[in-house]
Amino acid sequence: MPYPIHEVPLQHLSERINRLLIHLFPSENEHVTWKNHFNLAIENERSCSVLVPDFHLDLRPRHPPCSRAVPIWVGECGFTSSKRKLQRQLELATTMVPELDFAVMVFIRKAACRLPSYDHELLPLSRSDFTPSMPPRPNSLDPVVVGGITWLTVKSVNFHVFLRGADGKFNFKEGGSLYAQGKLFPHQQMDGVDHVLNSVVSRLILQFAQTMEKAGAEPTRINHIRTEAESVTFSAEWSVLLEELQSSLYDTAHSRYSKWVRCRTKSSQMGCKAAGPSTIAKKNSKKRNRSCK
C-alpha cells in the first residue's frame, strides 16, 4: 500500500492539467474527453500485456460512442522503489502503448532509517502526536521526530520528464532536448522541467484537435484549439506542491510508525521480541533494512 507522500506529486500534476483543460474545453459537448487515472491498468491489445502505472492520462473521442480511450501521458513516483525500477516501468509502458507521448518520473529520496528494535519501550502514539507543535519552516521538508525517534527524513525530491521523439521512441538515457531533470527539494531548480511541460501541453492540445477532427468537430472549433496550442503554458505551482509534500510528511511518518507497531506485534506473537530493525541492521549492515521501508 503506497505511503501518503507517494501520491502527492502526480496528484498535483493531475489537478493542474485538469484545471488547464477545463479552461480550454468547458463544454460537455466537446467531441473529445480526457480522464486521469491512478493505479489503473493499461493494456497492449496485440500482446495482451498489462501494466499498472501510478498515473496515466487518456483521451477518448465522444463519437462514435464507446470509442477506445488512448493513453497519452504516463507517470511513476518512487518513495520506497528504486529509480531504476521506476524507469523500467516507464520503458515498459511506452513500449506497450505507442500512442504515449510523455512520461514523468518523480523520485523521493529518503534517508536511511534507524527505527528502534521491537523490544524498545515506546508509549503508544496517535496521529495527533505527529502534528507539529510549531508551523514548519517554509519550503522545507524537515525530519519528523516523535518520541525521540526520527520516523522520516526526506533528502531530495527530483523530477525527470521525457517526450517521445520524432522517431516514435523515448530516450531514457537522460539527455537531449526531449528530456529535462529538475530538483524540487532541497533547492528548487525546475526551469528545465517547466520548459518540457510547456512543450508537452502544447502537443497535448494539438492531439485534442486531431482527435476532434477525426470525430467530426466543426473546423472553426478545431482551428481555435490549434491556435490555443501555440501559446498555452502549464502552471505546476511548485511552491504549492512543496507545501502539499510538507503536509503529507506527517501522515507518512505516522504510517511508518503504524507499520513498525504491526511488525512488533507480529514479532512478539512469533516469540522474537528482541528482533527488530536495529538488530537486523547490526547483523547485516550492507543489506537494506526491509523493515524500515
In tens, the pLDDT along 104-115 reads 999 999 998 788
Residue with the three cell numbers 519501550: 121
| DSSP bridge partners of 32 | 61
Q: Are 211 and 239 in contact (CB under 8 A)?
A: no
Residue with the three cell numbers 507518512: 252
Three-state DSSP class for residue 137? coil
With cut-offs at 50, 70 and 90, classify the pLDDT of residue 154. very high
Q: What is the pLDDT of residues 249-282, one digit of tens each?
A: 999 999 999 998 888 888 777 754 444 554 434 4
Q: Are 110 and 78 in contact (CB under 8 A)?
A: no
- 89 has a pLDDT exceeding 50: yes
- 291 has a pLDDT exceeding 50: no
| DSSP bridge partners of 58 | 35, 71
Residue 247 identity = S
pLDDT of residue 277: 53
With cut-offs at 50, 70 and 90, classify the pLDDT of residue 161. very high
Supply the DSSP string of 31-94, one letter for each residue: SEEEEEEES--EEETTTTEEE--SEEEEEEESSSTTPPPEEEEEEEEESSS-HHHHHHHHHHHH
pLDDT of residue 284: 43
Q: What is the DSSP letter of 182?
A: E
What percentage of the chain carries pLDDT values higher than 90? 62
Determine which of 13-27, 42-56, 177-191, 203-217 has the lowest per-residue pLDDT on average: 42-56
Report the C-alpha gap between 143 and 102 in whole angstroms: 33
Report the C-alpha gap between 152 and 252 in whole angstroms: 8
- 5 has a pLDDT exceeding 70: yes
Residue with the three cell numbers 531530495: 156
With cut-offs at 50, 70 and 90, classify the pLDDT of residue 30. confident
**Averaged over 183-207, what is the pLDDT?**
96
**Averaged over 239-245, what is the pLDDT?**
95
What the block records as the C-alpha cell of 37 is 487515472
Q: Which helix (H) or strand (E) holds 106?
A: strand 102-110
Of 284 and 210, the structure prediction assigns the larger pLDDT to 210
| DSSP bridge partners of 189 | 183
